[in-house]
């Protein structure tokens, strides 16, 4: 099987905040001290190696960045100051940009100008909406202000539902792309019973 190498991967990751990964000489301290690392799954060292070698596809198919909860122990014990914990954080940002089919995630992570522009546009749209859909009447009372006299509550509710629908669609489609990238052909071959047996574990991680 051929392996595609991206010589610009490290340079690309620097746009997502990568700083010290090149200092790593693979002593294995981070892997030895990480409570989540196993002989079969030696990370974070393996992900650092992938980055140094330009193995974009390997990173894309790796679930390890999402298992790391950034306790910081590996960074504290690194003799070279390579900060493997932050490298895992960078991997999560990078992977988020790969899963996002809109391309917005990459822009938000790598461009402050785009971030300011996006926030400004959203604020402008909200302001225009409030101006266009206000009732023209107001009943201001400093003790019991009636906002519904200016902006109908049902209109705001519909706007909230619309926003929730759009965000949910974007989130779920990107989650699907994440699952598809990690599991590949196994996505639809794993029995539903197995998924159901892990619901408790999912809830624990979501709520904690």
Condensed to tens digits (0 to 9), the pLDDT of residues 167-182 reads: 999 999 999 999 999 9
Q: Which is nearest to 6 in space by CA: 42, 47, 53, 72? A: 53
**SS3 state of residue 33:** helix
- DSSP-based three-state secondary structure for 139: strand
Average pLDDT of 51-57?
92
Using DSSP, state whether 79 is helix, strand or coil: coil
Whole-angstrom Cα distance, residue 203 to residue 111?
A: 34
Q: Give me the mean pLDDT over the 148-161 stretch.
A: 79
Check whether 208 has a pLDDT greater than 80.
Answer: no
Tokens of 165: 């629908």
CA distance linking residue 94 with residue 14, whole number of Å: 10
Q: 108: Cβ–Cβ under 8 A, 6 or more apart, which residues?
A: 114, 115, 118
pLDDT per residue as tens digits for the range 32-47: 999 888 888 888 888 9
Q: What is the pLDDT of residue 164?
A: 94
Better-scored residue on pLDDT, 187 or 84: 84
| Mean pLDDT for the chain overall | 87
- DSSP lists the bridge partners of residue 139 as 146
Residues 6+ apart with CB under 8 A from 148: none
For residue 175, what pLDDT is reported? 92
CA 165 from chain centre, in angstroms, equals 19
Segment 189-208 shows an average pLDDT of: 84
Q: How is residue 109 written in tokens?
A: 């992570």
Residues 30, 77 contacting (CB under 8 angstroms)? yes
pLDDT at residue number 147: 63
Residue-range domain boundaries for the chain: 9-99, 111-151, 162-208
């Amino acid at each position: 099987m051929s392996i595609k190498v991206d010589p610009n991967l490290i340079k690309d990751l620097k746009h997502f905040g990568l700083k010290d990964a090149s200092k790593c000489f693979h002593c294995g301290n981070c892997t030895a001290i990480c409570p989540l690392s196993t002989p079969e799954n030696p990370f974070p060292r393996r992900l650092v190696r992938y980055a140094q070698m330009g193995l974009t596809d390997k990173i894309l198919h790796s679930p390890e960045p999402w298992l790391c909860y950034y306790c910081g122990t590996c960074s504290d014990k690194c003799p070279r100051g390579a900060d493997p914990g932050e490298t895992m954080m960078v991997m999560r940002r990078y992977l988020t940009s790969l899963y996002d089919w809109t391309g917005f995630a990459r822009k938000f992570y790598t461009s402050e100008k785009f971030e300011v522009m996006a926030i400004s546009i959203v604020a402008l749209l909200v302001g225009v909406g409030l101006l266009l859909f206000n009732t023209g009447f107001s009943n201001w009372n400093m003790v019991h202000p009636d906002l519904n006299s200016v902006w109908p509550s049902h209109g705001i509710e519909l706007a909230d539902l619309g926003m929730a629908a759009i965000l949910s669609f974007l989130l779920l489609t990107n989650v699907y792309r994440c699952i598809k990238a990690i599991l590949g052909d196994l996505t639809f071959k794993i029995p539903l019973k197995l998924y159901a047996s892990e619901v408790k574990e999912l809830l624990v991680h979501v709520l904690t």
